[in-house]
């Protein structure tokens, strides 16, 4: 009997990392559901406007709105996002049907010289596009200078290796997915640099009404990645912060498999003050854990740091 292979159109930003990530989702679909994927390139505001910091051009959604428009218009069947870039509030007509392929959530330091963060010279110029990273870098090294850094991952790595900056700090996930791990000088520990909520995970989004596509994509969902990132993103949401806020969070499943641990941070942009919270709860109640720790952070003065 002949088997019919369904074709789905996957929307992706034109960056090499976005295309690699979309291709990985396509390969999983081909292996698990006999689905063939067609790549559709979509230009986003975040890709087109590179001369200003993300917070100035909208921050929230600048890498995702064009892809969501493509879904609504029927130009694509699904979109692949880096979860940390995806706004927490989702419209009713779209759904994040799978959270998956979460890899190392740490940030890394990249430099042309053999420098670690501790060994970087006083006054060293560190490039980053993130308020979260800036706040934690200045807390660890108040003597360094933070310089704005935009561009795709491979562009940012090249700028560091060419000496445009003394160092840059960037997510390990993107560097490793592009095979650029040799450029990493240091993986930053969580005591120095907590990641963005959802960092290292991919999100697959589709139209809520497209039940056939939803069923095919749902097979990609990873329950552990879903639970941990839900706790982290709920923490951010309950604080009232967006993608550009100086908020960090990391959740992990304990060895017993039934307990979720979460640590969160809200920091002053200049690194002089931070509110840190930790807690745990049932793995099947990640939203409650995120909300509880957000309340604790607010009680500790987090709102003042976000205003």
Between 307 and 42, the more confident residue is: 42
Q: Is 84 found in the same domain as 23?
A: yes
Q: Is 233 found in the same domain as 93?
A: no
How deeply is 219 buried, as exposed, middle or buried, from its count of CB atoms within 10 A (0-12, 13-18, 19+)?
middle
Active-site residue, selected from the candidate residues 85, 107, 166, 210: 85
* Residue 196 is assigned to a structural domain of this protein: no
3-state secondary structure 141-191: CCCCEEEECCCCHHHHHHHHHCCCCCEEEEEHHHHHHCCCHHHEEEECCCC
Q: Is 94 found in the same domain as 19?
A: yes
16 lies in which domain range? 6-102+201-221
Q: Is 208 found in the same domain as 82?
A: yes
CATH number (domain holding residue 29): 3.40.190.10
Mean pLDDT of 160-164: 96
Q: Is 248 found in the same domain as 119?
A: no
User: Residue 11 pLDDT > 60, yes or no?
Assistant: yes
Kindly report, residue by residue over 85-118, the tens digit of the pLDDT.
899 888 999 999 999 999 999 999 999 999 999 9
* Residue 1 is assigned to a structural domain of this protein: no
Kindly report, residue by residue over 118-149, the tens digit of the pLDDT.
999 999 999 998 999 999 999 999 999 999 99
- pLDDT value of residue 1: 38
Q: Is 166 found in the same domain as 31?
A: no
**Among 41-50, 63-72, 101-110, 146-155, the least confident range:** 41-50
Instruction: Respond yes or no: is residue 85 known to be catalytic.
Output: yes
**Among 50-59, 206-215, 267-276, the least confident range:** 50-59
Q: Is 273 found in the same domain as 237?
A: yes
Predicted structure pTM score: 0.92
* Residue 283 is assigned to a structural domain of this protein: yes
Q: Domain tally for the chain?
A: 3
* Residue 47 is assigned to a structural domain of this protein: yes
* Residue 299 is assigned to a structural domain of this protein: yes
């Amino acid at each position: 009997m002949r088997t019919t292979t369904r074709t789905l159109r996957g929307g992706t930003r034109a960056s090499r990392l976005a295309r690699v990530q979309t291709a990985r989702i396509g390969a999983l679909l081909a292996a698990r559901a006999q689905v063939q994927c067609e790549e559709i390139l979509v230009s986003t505001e975040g890709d087109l406007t590179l001369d200003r910091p993300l917070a100035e051009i909208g921050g929230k959604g600048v890498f995702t709105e064009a892809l969501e428009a493509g879904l609504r218009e029927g130009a694509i069947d699904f979109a692949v996002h880096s979860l940390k870039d995806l706004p927490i509030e989702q419209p009713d007509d779209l759904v994040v049907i799978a959270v998956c392929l979460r890899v190392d959530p740490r940030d890394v330091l990249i430099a042309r010289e053999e420098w670690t963060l501790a060994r970087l010279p006083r006054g060293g110029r560190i490039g980053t596009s993130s308020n979260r990273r800036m706040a934690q870098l200045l807390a660890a090294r108040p003597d360094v200078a933070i310089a704005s850094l935009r561009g795709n991952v491979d562009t940012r790595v090249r700028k560091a290796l060419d000496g445009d900056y003394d160092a840059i700090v960037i997510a390990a996930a993107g560097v490793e997915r592009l095979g650029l791990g040799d450029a990493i000088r240091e993986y930053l520990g969580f005591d120095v640099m907590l990641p963005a909520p959802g960092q290292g995970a991919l999100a697959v989004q589709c139209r809520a009404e497209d039940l056939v596509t939803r069923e095919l994509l749902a097979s990609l969902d990873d329950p552990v990645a879903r639970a941990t990132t839900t706790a982290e993103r709920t923490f951010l949401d309950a604080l009232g912060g967006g993608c550009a806020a100086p908020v960090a969070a990391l959740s992990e499943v304990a060895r017993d498999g039934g307990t979720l641990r979460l640590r969160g941070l809200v920091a002053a942009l200049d690194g002089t003050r931070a509110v840190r919270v930790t807690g745990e709860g049932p793995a099947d109640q990640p939203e409650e854990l995120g909300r509880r720790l957000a309340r604790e952070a607010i009680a500790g003065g987090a709102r003042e740091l976000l205003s």
